[in-house]
Amino acid sequence: MPEAFIYTSSPGRIVFGSGISVKVAEEVERLGCARALILSTPFQKNDAEALAKDLGEMAAGTFTEAAMHTPVAVTEAALKIYNETKADCVVALGGGSTIGLGKAIAWRNEAPQVVIATTYAGSEVTDILGQTEKGQKTTVRDPKIRPETVIYDADLTLGLPVAMSVASGLNAMAHAVEALYAPDANPVTSLMAVEGLRALKSALPRIVEAPDDRDARADALYGSWLCGTVLGAVAMSLHHKLCHTLGGGFDMPHAETHAILLPHTAAYNAAAASAELARATELFGGDLGGGLYDFARSIGAPLALADYGLKESDLARAADMAVQSPYKNPREITRDGILALLRRAHAGQRPI
């Protein structure tokens, strides 16, 4: 039996299924809205325009310039279109970058949000917004940032490239691993975390084998929903702080950095949180860090930070930055410990 805990369920409506995106109009109406501004990145422009066409009069317009790390200048440009087109809600179609733009708009003008999530990053179910201005990334948390409605339609993820699917899936798994040893973990988030890990562990190899396997895609989205939910519910530790340091300080790509670091951060904390991690450890053959590394390798995931432009000479500075502000973590964060972890992740070695 757990000792005392606090569990707050997050509000939000989840609409899950294959072919379900035809329900966007219904969901917009359900929020009391009639004119949606459709958001996407340039890469998903065609999908956004097709959705606008389907929505007919209910589409106020499209804004297809969403970019990584939610630059404030892009948000301001989108807000201008939102106002000019007299939109009354946003529909974000895409991954964390597009969802970030929708959240940034909603944080400023309280626009209701419908999100159609097409990666496994999990932003759609959190109240967290990271944005950048003049090279500085800041993070805000606010209930009005959390999207009201999330649509998960596996059909829209069939075209997510395999490499992106693998990295994004491991990004989701990292939320679950950290949720298990979170200082504010509770029985419900832990159940979700283990089930999220199980679903993604089963789905990702099947996606690598057959990217258009709808069942595998649905399992991955289901897992990403669970993992995203725990990201939004409990505090994250070493893994997320380290990824934030490498993303913000060294411009490392989001999903790939998560994918590479996960086996190493899990190994770093494994002994200090062995009870909390027991069910995840069992899932990965009795050695969480090593098991995650072998799993990542078997699905062709990125393994070495060096492959993404991080220089060996950057590692000491990254370790310095990572130990600057203290936070709760199962194992003490030491500069030497972090440097050793980073060295192995940089070289793509199996964690010890």
The residue of the chain with the least Cβ separation from ligand NAD equals 96
- Please report, in angstroms and rounded to a whole number, the separation of the first and last CA atoms in the chain: 32
Which residue from 195, 193, 192, 218 is spatially nearest to 207, judged by alpha carbons? 218
**Size (the chain), residues:** 352
Q: Indicate whether 122 belongs to the interface with ligand NAD (CB under 6 A).
A: yes
21 contributes a contact to ligand NAD by CB under 6 A? no
Q: Are 58 and 66 in contact (CB under 8 A)?
A: no
Asked whether position 188 contacts ligand NAD by CB under 6 A, the answer is no
d(CA 323, CA 337): 10
Question: Residue 234 — left, alpha, or beta (φ > 0 → left; ψ -120 to 50 → alpha)?
Answer: beta
Q: Which of these segments, 108-116, 128-136, 211-219, 270-278, binds ligand NAD (CB under 6 A)? A: 128-136
Which of 119, 186, 229, 265 binds ligand NAD (CB under 6 A)? It is 119
**Residue whose CB is less far from ligand NAD, 69 or 279:** 69
Q: Judged by CB under 6 A, does residue 118 bind ligand NAD?
A: yes
Shortest distance (Å) from residue 140 CB to ligand NAD:
10
Stretch that binds ligand NAD, among 13-21, 26-34, 158-166, 265-273 (CB under 6 A): 158-166
113 interacts with ligand NAD by CB under 6 A: no
Token pair for 30: 């359900």
Question: Beta 89-94 vs 113-117: how paired, if at all?
Answer: parallel
x/- string (CB under 6 A) for ligand NAD, residues 76-95? ------------------xx
Q: Which is nearer to ligand NAD, 168 or 186 (CB)?
A: 168
Residue 317 CB, shortest distance to ligand NAD, in Å, is 21
Number of residues forming the site for ligand NAD (CB under 6 A): 28
Q: Under the criterion CB under 6 A, does residue 123 sit at the interface with ligand NAD?
A: yes
Under rule CB under 6 A, residue 105 binds ligand NAD: no
Q: Note whether 248 binds ligand NAD by CB under 6 A.
A: no
CA pair distance 32, 286, nearest whole angstrom: 50
DSSP strands (E only) in the chain: 13-16, 36-39, 59-63, 89-94, 113-117, 128-133, 136-141, 149-152
- For Cα atoms 153, 173, 333, give the angle at the middle one, nearest 5 degrees: 150
Q: Is 156 left (phi over 0), alpha (psi -120 to 50) or beta?
A: alpha
Q: Which of 21, 44, 237, 269 binds ligand NAD (CB under 6 A)?
A: 44
Q: Min. distance of Cβ 70 from ligand NAD in angstroms?
A: 6
Do the strands 36-39 and 89-94 form a parallel or antiparallel pair, or are they unpaired?
A: parallel
d(CA 240, CA 328): 12
Minimum Å distance from CB 117 to ligand NAD? 8
Q: Which helix (H) or strand (E) holds 319?
A: helix 315-322
User: Does position 126 bind ligand NAD by CB under 6 A?
Assistant: yes
In the complex, the residues that contact ligand NAD under the rule CB under 6 A are: 41, 43-44, 68-69, 94-98, 100, 118-119, 121-123, 126, 128-130, 156-157, 159-160, 164, 168, 254-255
